[in-house]
Amino acid sequence: MNIAKSEKPNAKSTLETWLSYLEQIHPITIELGLERVSQVAQRLDIGKPAPYVFTIAGTNGKGTTCRTLEMILLAAGLRVGVYSSPHILRYTERVRINDQELPDTQHTNAFNLIEQERQDISLTYFEYSTLAALLMFKQANLDVVILEVGLGGRLDATNIVDADVAVITSIALDHVDYLGNTLESIGQEKAGIFKQNCIAIVGEPNTPQSIIACAKKKHVQLHICAPNLGFDWQYRLINDRIWQFQSSKNHYNNLPVPKIPLANAATALAAISYSQLDIDSESIYQGLANTALTGRFQVIQEKPLVIIDVAHNPHAATYLANQLQECIIQRGNIKKLRFVIGMLKDKDIKSTIAALHADYWYCASLYGERGAKAGDIAAFIDQSVATVFTFPSVKSAWEQVKSDADDDDIIVICGSFHTVSDILGIVKNDEQ
């Protein structure tokens, strides 16, 4: 039901009321472009939310790179704000200040101020969310802000901020309707976060030429990883406990392996190494040791082993498959691998499925206009090598896989933030 103009929320309205309102006031869910959001940001004077800003773009690994940066900078005693999306269980997960979510009232107060200042300018849900985060960061008097880019880079709402360090984690085919269907076109969109003379870090091992060309055009201090030609930094896993990082500025040995993809931890460390921040080695070691993130190869149960992962495209699915293989080798005596998967229909379902291998598939329909039907997912699975079931919801798929699985099986839940969110919500309710 639409909210009438007279029913606009105010500073005393609940966060739920505000979020419902934000979902309805703009006719298009995703509308890339900076003109509208820039005008409102200028009115609010939030173009520079902190003295030092990192912006993180990429196809995969943005959230874990942000988290690594956050934990290292907090260990160094800095006041740090992080903006990321989407959330998994609560909207308030999108904004963290000193590793804490903020009360609902701070979000609603920010929304109310934006509503007053925007006047007749229409904003999307994500644009509102971004502006609110920047406003709360500026009010908090922070040292550093870390912004995770929502979609692409060049035209994403976060790009209204001139970052001191711009980071690109990885490049793969995703959101092709918005970013183009080649790695070069996607790279060009991601490189749109580069500002004149800024520091730029690229963690993609096969960096598209479009990124390098953009960096030259904007006179960016570009630092790319191995094995790119002319690389500036590299990392190496020594064993399952330690790794090393080497750049033209710093060399760190015996680093603790964090509970996230190592490539993303290394990209974060490169961003810190080439930044103008003076971060000591002890803070780096401590921050890495404390780095983990909900929904990234996260074990939520031991018998049977249940792993949740937000992998939702071929690139992320390939990494998930490799992690699973290592897990199976380490644990041994694994009987069956069972996947609960729910995806959005605008994702590359066929190639994502092809990267994964299971004995049993529990395909679940996701709700909403973008949700794929279970049957559409199941159609891409080779039923000659695996048993496939379909379910009307993630909950019904979860109930069935729990009933079917033995203690020596592995259950993996993946395919979308929505899928992982549903499972975590169910598990949390069961624990209460």
Whether residues 329 and 232 fall in one domain? no
Whether residues 89 and 60 fall in one domain? yes
Please tell me whether residue 43 adopts helix, strand or coil conformation: helix
H or E segment and range at residue 81? strand 80-83
Which among 289, 316, 333 is the end of a domain? 289
Q: Using CB atoms within 10 Å of the CB of residue 7, give its burial: 0 to 12 exposed, 13 to 18 middle, 19+ buried.
A: exposed
Whether residues 259 and 313 fall in one domain? no
Whether residues 110 and 240 fall in one domain? yes
Cβ atoms of 286 and 279 closer than 8 Å? no
Q: What is the CATH number of the domain that holds 409?
A: 3.90.190.20
- Which pLDDT score, from 0 to 100, does residue 351 have? 94
Whether residues 59 and 86 fall in one domain? yes
Host domain of residue 231: 5-289
- Which pLDDT score, from 0 to 100, does residue 2 have? 46
Whether residues 251 and 327 fall in one domain? no
pTM comes to 0.89
Whether residues 189 and 217 fall in one domain? yes
- Which pLDDT score, from 0 to 100, does residue 378 have? 97
The number of folded domains in the chain is 2
Q: Quick: pLDDT tens for 131-159.
A: 999 999 999 999 999 999 987 788 889 99
Whether residues 245 and 326 fall in one domain? no
**Measured torsion, CA atoms of residues 294, 300, 426, 309, in degrees rounded to the nearest 10:** 50
- What are the two backbone dihedrals, phi and then psi, of residue 424, each rounded to the nearest 5 degrees? -60, -40
- Which pLDDT score, from 0 to 100, does residue 368 have? 83
Whether residues 333 and 396 fall in one domain? yes
**Ranges of the chain with pLDDT below 70:** 1-6, 27-32, 173-181, 432
State the CB neighbour count (10 A cutoff) for residue 288: 24
Q: How many CA atoms lie within 13 A of 187 on its CB side?
A: 19
Whether residues 198 and 342 fall in one domain? no
- What are the two backbone dihedrals, phi and then psi, of residue 363, each rounded to the nearest 5 degrees? -85, 130
Whether residues 315 and 222 fall in one domain? no
Which among 232, 255, 289 is the end of a domain? 289
d(CA 213, CA 133): 32
Amino acid letter, residue 422: D
Q: What is the CATH number of the domain that holds 161?
A: 3.40.1190.10
Q: Quick: pLDDT tens for 332-378.
A: 778 899 999 999 998 999 999 999 999 999 999 998 888 999 999 99
Whether residues 141 and 171 fall in one domain? yes
Cβ atoms of 7 and 17 closer than 8 Å? no
- What are the two backbone dihedrals, phi and then psi, of residue 33, each rounded to the nearest 5 degrees? 140, 145
Q: Report CA-CA distances (Å) from 233 to 72, 173, 246.
A: 19, 25, 6
Which among 235, 257, 289 is the end of a domain? 289
Residue ranges in 28-93 assigned as alpha helix (H): 35-44, 62-75
Amino acid letter, residue 408: D
